[in-house]
């Protein structure tokens, strides 16, 4: 496993691999790696010849009163996890390498970045989109892996890739949870034992609503009430919302298209986010549709039944 701090040496090395036709997978992270990051890395190692992991606590995605200065770091453990997982290269630039003096160009995401975390953290997704675009240009991966845990981030990145014709495939990996359901996050390390216990109510609420949906409850208000009835131990509920899974438009009335139930809350001084997907089960066919399907299948089974074909 190779470690790079400078863009030039990383790109030189990657150029050689790309010339030999190797498929490059990329996992961008802010470090303090856990089993959630590991799931992304495993997916990349399984699908690609080369896996590049970046570890960069990106200052431009933090607001002025957020946790940039105390964001947890554990470089040695991160190296161990990457080595054991079969990572080929770690890229860990410092802020000056990514934002040299005179830096002034940003990626401005559109409406997909406005609700949810975008409303609570102004400028956050501009910082995310800008650094991810830069990292894509530096690494030039074939595939990049992101966690469903940061659902809106995935939507913003997918939209950016479409809008800017970036030649990279985006893969979203399901959220990895602690045994009690809490979504794994580097920020969970901020939680003291009492807050850690209280934080469990977030996933309990989301999973209860997801279970109700699986049992046939489609009413969005009712689903939100079910989730809210469990989310009683947080200090500030910043949002609990049902959003269209693709566009992030607000869902009202019945949930008939894939939707995401998204939550953000503070527990003590720690801000946590989580979400679950509500995916409609395949619709049962109507009698008329069944009739048509069986007709087509009969014709496929015995083409002669159609009579002689015109020559």
Catalytic residues: 37
Site for ligand AMP in 126-155 (CB under 6 A): 146-147, 149-150
Site for ligand AMP in 154-213 (CB under 6 A): 173, 175-176, 183-186
Question: Residue 106 CB: number of other CB atoms within 10 A?
Answer: 14
Task: Considering the complex, state which of residue 40 and residue 202 has its C-beta at the smaller distance from ligand AMP.
Answer: 40
Task: Considering the complex, state which of residue 76 and residue 287 has its C-beta at the smaller distance from ligand AMP.
Answer: 76
- The CB-of-275 to ligand AMP minimum distance in angstroms stands at 11
How far apart CA 132 and CA 77 sit, in angstroms, is 24
Is residue 254 within 8 Å of residue 220, measured between CB atoms? yes
Task: Considering the complex, state which of residue 25 and residue 147 has its C-beta at the smaller distance from ligand AMP.
Answer: 147
- The CB-of-27 to ligand AMP minimum distance in angstroms stands at 7
Task: Please tell me whether residue 91 binds ligand AMP under the rule CB under 6 A.
Answer: no
31: alpha, beta or left, given left = phi > 0 and alpha = psi -120 to 50? left
DSSP letter assigned to residue 282: P
**Euclidean distance between the first and final Cα of the chain, in Å?**
66
Task: Please tell me whether residue 220 binds ligand AMP under the rule CB under 6 A.
Answer: no
- The CB-of-172 to ligand AMP minimum distance in angstroms stands at 8
Q: How many residues bind ligand AMP (CB under 6 A)?
A: 17
Task: Please tell me whether residue 61 binds ligand AMP under the rule CB under 6 A.
Answer: no
Whole-angstrom CA distances from 220 to 230, 238, 245, 264, 278 are 16, 18, 14, 18, 11
Task: Considering the complex, state which of residue 18 and residue 73 has its C-beta at the smaller distance from ligand AMP.
Answer: 73
Site for ligand AMP in 267-286 (CB under 6 A): none
Closest CA to 128 of 92, 85, 158: 158
Task: Please tell me whether residue 36 binds ligand AMP under the rule CB under 6 A.
Answer: yes
Task: Considering the complex, state which of residue 80 and residue 289 has its C-beta at the smaller distance from ligand AMP.
Answer: 80
- The CB-of-183 to ligand AMP minimum distance in angstroms stands at 5
- The owner of tokens 């008939």 is 256
How far apart CA 153 and CA 174 sit, in angstroms, is 14
- The CB-of-243 to ligand AMP minimum distance in angstroms stands at 17
Out of 13, 30, 74, 207, the only residue in the binding site for ligand AMP (CB under 6 A) is: 30
Task: Considering the complex, state which of residue 37 and residue 198 has its C-beta at the smaller distance from ligand AMP.
Answer: 37
- The CB-of-29 to ligand AMP minimum distance in angstroms stands at 4
Task: Please tell me whether residue 39 binds ligand AMP under the rule CB under 6 A.
Answer: yes
Whole-angstrom CA distances from 288 to 53, 96, 259, 309 are 52, 65, 29, 27
Question: Residue 122 CB: number of other CB atoms within 10 A?
Answer: 9
Stretch that binds ligand AMP, among 36-44, 221-229, 254-262, 263-271 (CB under 6 A): 36-44
Output the furthest CA–CA distance in the chain (Å, rounded).
81
Out of 10, 24, 37, 135, the only residue in the binding site for ligand AMP (CB under 6 A) is: 37
- The owner of tokens 């894939």 is 258
DSSP codes of every residue in 201-253: HHHHHHHHHHHHHHTT--BHHHHHHHHHHH--S-SEEEEEEEEETTT-PBP-S
Interaction site with ligand AMP (CB under 6 A): 29-30, 36-37, 39-40, 146-147, 149-150, 173, 175-176, 183-186
């Amino acid at each position: 496993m190779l470690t790079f701090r400078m863009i030039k040496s990383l790109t030189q090395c990657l150029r050689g691999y790309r010339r030999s036709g190797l498929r490059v997978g990329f996992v961008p992270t802010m470090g303090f790696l856990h089993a959630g990051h590991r799931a992304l890395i495993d997916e990349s190692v399984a699908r690609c010849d080369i896996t590049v992991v970046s570890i960069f606590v990106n200052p431009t995605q933090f607001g002025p009163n957020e946790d940039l200065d105390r964001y947890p770091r554990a470089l040695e453990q991160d190296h161990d996890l990457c080595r054991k997982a079969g990572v080929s290269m770690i890229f860990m630039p410092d802020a000056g390498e990514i934002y040299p003096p005179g830096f002034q160009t940003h990626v401005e995401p559109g409406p997909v970045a406005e609700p949810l975390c975008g409303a609570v953290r102004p400028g956050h997704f501009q910082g995310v989109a800008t650094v991810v675009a830069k990292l894509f240009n530096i690494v030039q991966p074939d595939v990049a892996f992101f966690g469903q845990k940061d659902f809106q981030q995935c939507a913003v990145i997918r939209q950016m890739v479409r809008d800017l014709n970036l030649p990279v495939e985006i893969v979203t990996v399901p959220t990895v949870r602690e045994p009690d359901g809490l979504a794994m996050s580097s920020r969970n390390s901020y939680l003291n034992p009492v807050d850690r216990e209280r934080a469990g109510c977030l996933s309990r609420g989301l999973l209860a609503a997801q279970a109700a949906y699986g049992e046939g409850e489609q009413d969005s208000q009712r689903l939100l009430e079910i989730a809210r009835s469990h989310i009683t131990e947080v200090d500030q509920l910043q949002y609990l919302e049902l959003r269209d899974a693709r566009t992030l438009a607000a869902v009202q009335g019945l949930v008939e298209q894939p939707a995401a139930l998204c939550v953000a809350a503070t527990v003590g001084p720690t801000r946590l986010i989580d979400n679950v997907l509500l995916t409609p089960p395949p619709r049962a066919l109507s009698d008329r549709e069944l009739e048509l399907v069986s007709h087509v299948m009969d014709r496929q089974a015995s083409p002669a039944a159609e009579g002689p074909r015109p020559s």
